[in-house]
Structure 1
């Protein structure tokens, strides 16, 4: 029996040796082990992928939440900025000049002399000359104007309407903060800061002796005059015409009345234009300015056809000469305005 088993064992050995079965079985075992390893790796990678996909979903959701929060914050910021600007406008609307005064040339000269005497231990006194049409920020160039003038003062400067420009005297500590509108146009825009105010250009305007022609236009009563030294009138004429007062009723009668009144105003303008033209053309010298006051629309109607090359100077004076002495006209024409900020 043992001999028989031995023979079977030898036969199996020879069979395995010549058929390669043993080698194939070894390869199969190796491949099966590799398959197991791959399955383990696959399971690991799948787990990582599932975690990555979950994290990606969370990241997308977090990104959306962050974008919504950012948009909400941006909207809130815009709303707050609008409210801030609105509050600024409302606060600026409450700003006004604490004092407005009209000063004659003599009083203005005394005032400027007082300003000239002020001194500061540091360079805190700012003088700003602004021509008509110039912007305050433009005068400072690349320097930010807020470095020298506070926002409230800047806002008040924007309220000033002057064809002559203006002069600002401003102390950094607000001990002095005033604007002067001179009777003559500011010639050069500039700013200076030091231990004293620079009043040279303003004093020059106040001390000028000018030859001027004056037109004070009012419907039915206009005043034409001239002065060779801007201190005394050398000649004047009061021109009167019959111009009806304004109609108080409505309807057809009012329209007819207003048409007739307009015709009378045109007739009055023709009379004044003739007198003014004769005055200008008959004199053998050129006027420095044609000063215009009163009703600006009527004045423009009067001068539109006068062919003269004289600088125009519009004055806020609006007096009727019959109620004032003729010499008082010059004093009114050369008044300066003072605004205390």
Structure 2
């Protein structure tokens, strides 16, 4: 419990330092002092009004002015207090990455070459590989690992959604705090410390040419394709169907319209299933991965009959189908996401 309190206090300290919370609290304190001064002005104006009938107009004006300023200050105070309370409640979620990029395979190799050149005199550089479907706490000796990473970085790592795993390059002095999400699933979780970063496993993954089938699912227009070496498509097909747009009105007409739209989508799913089945049967001996993109819920329905031994990879890339730029689909699927913590 003591350790947990220490971690929470550290997170609160970090947030307070970087979120502007200190400035907000100082502004609230200043505003509260100002309200006290305004309340004194109001009291003074009331006394003048009561004592001097001759200067009634001036006294009334002073009283009204002081009350208006007091009311405005109280509104501002409530607004600031609400903002501060919201920051206190949402503190861990407010941490954000200093930089986010999408790298091609070539750009990633160049980036890793730069990371590899970092050399420390002490063995303080951490390299962490988290396999697909796992988290930091799945790694062997993860307690010792987590003690070496600052709390803000731990919060940011938790925010990353990846179906393929991640690689963290971390130096305690924050000279290097980089995280890579690869497009292909990492197979093993482990961590190391040394005077250089362990980039070998990531480089091996980058240089690996895999065979992949692809499904980009959208209602009314979907794409299925196959690449033997993940360099270009050897076979592909764009499947189109007539699917009604969503209805904007309510009532019985909307229910009937949505039922017809659902029937159109079901018909489109059947067409894609047939095309995907034919593609998988043609290349079944040479498929390492089935990549799913677009509307993932729709993609799951379209692949409900796919054999379980074909490993599926879910891509978060927002891929649009352009028949004249089919190569772009592969390029978008095979990007490496880079986060600077």
Superposition pairs for residues 116-195 of structure 1, below 5 Å?
Answer: 116-141=116-141, 143-195=143-195
Structure 1 runs of 4+ aligned residues shifted over 6 Å read none
Please, which moves more after superposition, 157-166 or 87-96? Answer: 87-96
Structure 1 residues 142, 252: CA separation in 2 closer, same or farther (over 3 Å shift)? closer
Please say if 1:335 is aligned against 2:335: yes
Q: Quickly say closer, same or farther: Cα 1:144–1:324, change in 2 above 3 A.
A: farther
Unpaired stretches in structure 1, ≥5 consecutive residues: 1-76
User: C-alpha separation between the residues in 2 aligned to 1:170 and 1:238?
Assistant: 43
Whether 2:197 is the aligned partner of 1:208: answer no
Q: Within 5 Å, which residues of 2 pair with 1:174-253?
A: 174-253=174-253
TM-score by length of 1: 0.72
Structure 2 Cα separation of the partners of residues 231 and 320 of structure 1 = 19
- Tell me if 1:289 matches 2:299: no
The count of corresponding residues between Structure 1 and Structure 2 is 262
Q: Which runs of 5+ in 2 are unaligned?
A: 14-88
Secondary structure of the corresponding residue to residue 316 of structure 1: coil
CA distance, structure 1, for counterparts of residue 232 and residue 117 of structure 2: 31
Question: For the Cα contact (< 8 Å) 1:216–1:318, is it kept in 2?
Answer: no
Deviation string for 1:219-252 (max 9, x for gaps)?
0000010000000110110100000111111111
Per the TM alignment, residue 143 of structure 1 is displaced from its structure 2 partner at its CA by 4.5
Question: Given the two structures, how large is their TM-score scaled by the length of structure 2?
Answer: 0.72
Segment of structure 1 superposing worse, 228-237 or 133-142: 133-142
**Does the C-alpha gap of structure 1 residues 252 and 133 become closer, same or farther in structure 2, counting only changes over 3 Å?**
same
> Could you say which structure has the larger radius of gyration?
1
CA distance in 1, matches of 2:194, 2:10: 34
Task: Give distance in 2, aligned partners of 1:204 and 1:237.
Answer: 31
- Displacement of 1:296 in angstroms is 0.5
Q: CA, structure 1 residues 169+142, in 2 after alignment: closer, same or farther (shift >3 Å)?
A: closer
> Distance between the aligned counterparts of 1:273 and 1:141, measured in 2?
44
